[in-house]
Structure 1
Amino acid sequence: MLVGGPLAWCERRFGKRATNVACYAAAAAGAALQVVGAAELAPAAVVVGGGMQGFSYAAGQSCRFNAAALAPAADKAKAVSWTVLGGAAAVLGPEVARMTLNAVPGAPYVGSFITAGVIQLAGLVCSGLVVYDDDGAKAGPAEAGGSGAAAEGGGGDSGAPGTDAPKDGDAAVAGSLATFGIVGAVVATSSVFCVMAAMMQTTPLAMLDAGFDKSMTVWVTEGHILGMFLPSLVSGRFVRWVGAQNAVVLGWCVLCVGGALPVVDAQRPAWAYFAGLVLIGVGWNLAYVGASLMLASTTLPPARAATLKRLTDGLAVTLVGCCILSTGAIFGALRHDAWWLYVGVGGCFLCLAVCHRLADTPDIPRVVAVGTRGGAGKGAAAKGATTAVEPASSATVQMTSVPPAADAKETYD
C-alpha cells in the first residue's frame, strides 16, 4: 500500500529486474522474521514480517503490465488475462497453511511461515530470470547508435534503468491523471477491487450470522477465488472482442448482480452466497482485465507510464485495505443490509463506467508522426518534426501503435 511511489522511482533508477528481485528478497526476509516471531512468541515480529511480505505483492501486481508491454499489439488483452490467471493459485494458500501449521512440533505456525519463505525465494529466482520490457533500453539511445535529436537531447524520458526522469516527470504524470481516458482506467481499477473486497469480506460474516458453519464459508470463499481468476482463460479474448471499456461496464453489471443474489431471497440459502460470490469474482475479472488493458495501452513515455501504473496499484490496495478494515464495523451496524450498501456503491460506479463509455471524449490517444518541416539530415527531427495525436474511439482502447517516420520525433503531452 505504501511502496507504489518508491518502487516506481526504483524502477526508473535501477530497472524493473533489480527492483522486483529486491522486493522478493525483502519478502523472504519478512517470512524469516515471522519464523523467529512465531518460535519466540513475539507478535510484533510476526506483524512486521507480514508487512515486509507485502513487497512481493507489489512486485507481482506489475507483472500484467510487463506482459502487455512484451506482447504483440493483437495479444495484449490475452497477455493481461493470462497473467491474472496466475492468481488462481491463491486457492491453494489456505490448504498449504493448514497442512504446514504444525509441521514443526511444539511450534505452531512456524512451518507455515517457513513455507511462505520458500515461496518468496522461488519468486525471487523467477523475478531474476523473467524478461522485462525495459531490458532493451539499458544501452540508451546514444549507445544503441542513435543520432540526431535523441543523441543531442540526452535520450529524453526513455525509462531506461540508471537514468533519472526529467524534472517535470511528476508534473507530467499528474497531468496525465487529468486525462479523461486515464482517469476512467484508474477509477475502474481501484473501485472494482474495492467493492469486490468489501463483498468478499462481508460474506463469511453474513453466513456465520445466518447459521452456516465455518467449513461452508471456506467452500464459498474458494469458489469466489476460482471465479476471480479462472475466467482469465477466455477473458482476454473476450475483452479484445468487445473492447476494454465495454468489458468494464459488463464486469460491473455482473458484479452488481452477484452482490444482490445473497439478499434477494429472504431465507438466504447457501447456493445464493456461493453463486453470488462466483459472479462477483467473474465481474471483477472482466472489469479488472479491461481497466488494466486501458492502463497498459497508455501512450505516456515508459518511465511516466510505470509511475502511473504503480500509483494506480497503490491506490487500489489502499482502498482495499480500508474496506477490509471497515467491513466488520459496517456489518455490525447494518447487518445484512450492508449488501445493499455495496450493491449501491457498485451501481454508482457502473453508472460512471457507462458515462465514460458513452462520452464523446478521446480515450487513450494515439501518437502519429506525420513528417518534418526541416528537411532530412542530422537533427532534423528535433527542429522540424510535427506530431498529430489521433484520439482512440471511446468504445475501445487503441492497442496498436503507429511507428514514426524515420526522420520524425514523437512528442507527448
Structure 2
Amino acid sequence: MNQHVPVTEGDVIARRNALVLACAQALGGASPAIVISLGGIVGSQLVADKTFATVPVSLMQLGLATGVIPAAMLMRRFGRRSGYLIGALIGAVAASIAAAGAGGRMFWLFCLGTFMCGLYGSFVQSYRFAAADTASEAFKPRAISWVMFGGLAAGIIGPQSVFWTRDLTPAAPFAASFLAQGCLALLAIAVVSRLRPPPVTAVKQAGGRPLGEIMRQPKFIASVTAALVAYGLMSFVMTAAPLAMVGCGHSIGEAALGIQWHVLAMFGPSFFTGKLIARFGKEKVTAAGLCLTALAAIVGLHGLSVAHFWLALILLGLGWNFGFIGATALVTDCYRPEERVKVQAANDFLVFGSVAIASFSAGGLLNAGGWDSVNWLVFPPVAIALVLVAWQGLQKRAAPAAL
C-alpha cells in the first residue's frame, strides 16, 4: 500500500481549513477547561448549600447536550462558517455573563453564563467533522488529527488562563478568568471567519432502517453503553476533583494544573489511538480505556496528596481517550451510510446527556460522602460496560457482523 499519498489540488483548501479549525479548537476548547477548573470553586463561594456547588459545571454539560442538535440544524441551514461565528459570539457573551455573575455574587447569573458556555461547546465539538468536509479520503485522518492537536493546546491555554488571571480582580474573585475566556472566544471569531467550507447543499436523507430498530441492536447497546460510561465517569470524577483538591487544602493553582494535565492526557494520545485500534481492535482498546478509568479511581482511593490527585486525573484522561474513541469506532459498525446522520445525532445526545447527569450528581455525592464515595462509584458502571464490550467481542468473532 502506498504510504505517501500526494496532496490533491482540492486538499490545498482542506489543509488551510484544518489549520484554521485547529487554531479555533485551541481557543474554543479552552472554554470548558476554564469552567471545569473554576465552576465548582466559584459555585461553592456563591451558594450556601455546598450540594449545589458543581451545578454551574453541570449546566455547562447540559448546555452542550441540548445544543448539539440545534447547532447541527443551524449549520446545515446556513453553513459551517456562519454557524461557528454564531457559536463563538455565544461563547463571548456567555463568558461575560459568567464574569458578571462571579463578580456580582449572583449564583443564578453565573449558572446562566456556564450554561451558555455549553452551547458554545456544542459548536466547538463538531470542528473535527468540519475538518473532513473538504478533505480527500487520503487526507481526512490528518485533517482530524490537526484539530485534535488544537484540543491539546486548549488543555494548556485554559488552565494557564486561570493561573495568570485569577488574582487580577481581588474584589471579584475569578471574574478576570472568565473575561479572559471571553477574549479567547472573540479571537475565535476572527479565526473561524477564515474558514472556507464547501457550499451548503441539500442532503437527501432517505432510506435506512428506523432509528428504534438500529438502537435495539445488541452491538449498538454495547457500544453506546461503553461511550456513556467512558465519558460520563470522566465528567463525574473531573467535576468533583478541583473541589476535592481545594477541600483537602491544595491551592487553586494546583487544582487548575491538575485539570491541565487531565486535558492533555485526554487529547495527547489521539495521534496514535487510531493505530492502536487498527492493531488490537476496537473492543480491546475500549476495554483498556475502561480499565484505566477504574485505575484512576483506585489511585484516588489511595491518597489525598497533590500527586495522587494529578495521577488520578491523568489516568482518567487516558481512560477517556481510549474508552470514548474506541466506543465511537464501535458505534460506526452499527449503521449504514444513509443512516449515519440520525444515528450519530442519537449517540451524541445520549452521551452528552449522560455527561450532564453525571456532572449534576458529582457535587451532591462529594458533599455527602466525600472524595472516596466519588471514586467507589466508578467501579459498577465500568464492570457493566466491560462485560458488554467483552460479550460483543466474542459475538463478533463467532459470526461476522451484518448490518
Query: In the alignment, which residue of structure 1 is the partner of 2:262?
Result: 224
1: CA distance, partners of 2:96 / 2:245 = 35
- Asked whether 1:324 is paired with 2:389, we answer no
Q: Which amino acid aligns with 2:215?
A: L
| CA deviation map 1:117-136 (0-9, x unaligned) | 2222333343343355xx26
Query: In the alignment, which residue of structure 2 is the partner of 1:91?
Result: 156
Query: In the alignment, which residue of structure 2 is the partner of 1:358?
Result: 394
Q: Which amino acid aligns with 2:310?
A: F
Q: Which amino acid aligns with 2:287?
A: V
For the 8 Å contact 1:80–1:293, the answer to whether it is kept is no
- 1:19–1:183 distance in 2 versus 1, CA, 3 Å: farther
1: CA distance, partners of 2:305 / 2:93 = 44
Query: In the alignment, which residue of structure 1 is the partner of 2:278?
Result: 240
- 1:14–1:136 distance in 2 versus 1, CA, 3 Å: closer
Query: In the alignment, which residue of structure 2 is the partner of 1:339?
Result: 375
For the 8 Å contact 2:267–2:321, the answer to whether it is kept is yes
- Asked whether 1:114 is paired with 2:152, we answer no
- 1:112–1:257 distance in 2 versus 1, CA, 3 Å: closer
- Asked whether 1:63 is paired with 2:99, we answer no
Q: CA deviation at 1:356?
A: 1.9
2: CA distance, partners of 1:36 / 1:213 = 24
Q: CA deviation at 1:48?
A: 2.5
- 1:283–1:44 distance in 2 versus 1, CA, 3 Å: closer
- Asked whether 1:309 is paired with 2:344, we answer yes
Three-state SS of the structure 1 residue aligned to 2:378 is: helix
Query: In the alignment, which residue of structure 2 is the partner of 1:19?
Result: 83
Query: In the alignment, which residue of structure 1 is the partner of 2:73?
Result: 9
2: CA distance, partners of 1:220 / 1:291 = 26
Unaligned runs of 5+ in 2: 1-64
1: CA distance, partners of 2:379 / 2:83 = 38
2: CA distance, partners of 1:246 / 1:69 = 30
Three-state SS of the structure 2 residue aligned to 1:53 is: helix
- 1:355–1:130 distance in 2 versus 1, CA, 3 Å: farther
For the 8 Å contact 2:159–2:256, the answer to whether it is kept is no
For the 8 Å contact 1:76–1:293, the answer to whether it is kept is no
- 1:105–1:262 distance in 2 versus 1, CA, 3 Å: closer
The one of 182, 198, 201 equivalent to 2:239 is 201
The one of 309, 314, 320 equivalent to 1:278 is 314
The one of 200, 224, 227 equivalent to 1:186 is 224
For the 8 Å contact 2:158–2:260, the answer to whether it is kept is no
Q: Which amino acid aligns with 1:329?
A: G
How many residues are matched?
337
- Asked whether 1:292 is paired with 2:328, we answer yes
Which moves more between the two structures, 209-218 or 346-355?
209-218
Greater Rg over alpha carbons, structure = 1
TM-score by length of 1: 0.67
Q: CA deviation at 1:41?
A: 6.6
Three-state SS of the structure 2 residue aligned to 1:129 is: coil
Three-state SS of the structure 1 residue aligned to 2:396 is: coil
Q: Which amino acid aligns with 1:253?
A: C
Unaligned runs of 5+ in 1: 141-157, 160-164, 364-389, 393-412
- 1:342–1:40 distance in 2 versus 1, CA, 3 Å: closer
Which moves more between the two structures, 308-317 or 342-351?
308-317
- 1:80–1:189 distance in 2 versus 1, CA, 3 Å: farther
- 1:113–1:273 distance in 2 versus 1, CA, 3 Å: closer
Three-state SS of the structure 1 residue aligned to 2:216 is: coil
Query: In the alignment, which residue of structure 2 is the partner of 1:130?
Result: 195
| CA deviation map 1:17-75 (0-9, x unaligned) | 43333222222233344456567776544432332222220111122334456666577
Q: CA deviation at 1:229?
A: 1.9
For the 8 Å contact 2:282–2:329, the answer to whether it is kept is yes
Q: CA deviation at 1:196?
A: 1.4
2: CA distance, partners of 1:245 / 1:289 = 11
2: CA distance, partners of 1:195 / 1:215 = 24
Q: CA deviation at 1:283?
A: 1.5
Query: In the alignment, which residue of structure 2 is the partner of 1:29?
Result: 93
Q: Which amino acid aligns with 2:268?
A: L
Query: In the alignment, which residue of structure 2 is the partner of 1:177?
Result: 215
Q: CA deviation at 1:251?
A: 1.1
Q: CA deviation at 1:108?
A: 5.7
| CA deviation map 1:55-112 (0-9, x unaligned) | 2201111223344566665776665555334323233323313433465796665543
| CA deviation map 1:116-155 (0-9, x unaligned) | 22222333343343355xx2662x6xxxxxxxxxxxxxxx
Q: CA deviation at 1:195?
A: 1.0
For the 8 Å contact 1:261–1:276, the answer to whether it is kept is yes
For the 8 Å contact 2:78–2:200, the answer to whether it is kept is no
| CA deviation map 1:261-314 (0-9, x unaligned) | 232x4x655544333322221111112222333446765446x53343334333
Query: In the alignment, which residue of structure 2 is the partner of 1:366?
Result: none
Q: Which amino acid aligns with 1:129?
A: R
Q: Sequence identity of aligned pairs in percent?
A: 24
- 1:101–1:337 distance in 2 versus 1, CA, 3 Å: closer
Higher-helix-fraction structure: 2
2: CA distance, partners of 1:184 / 1:129 = 40
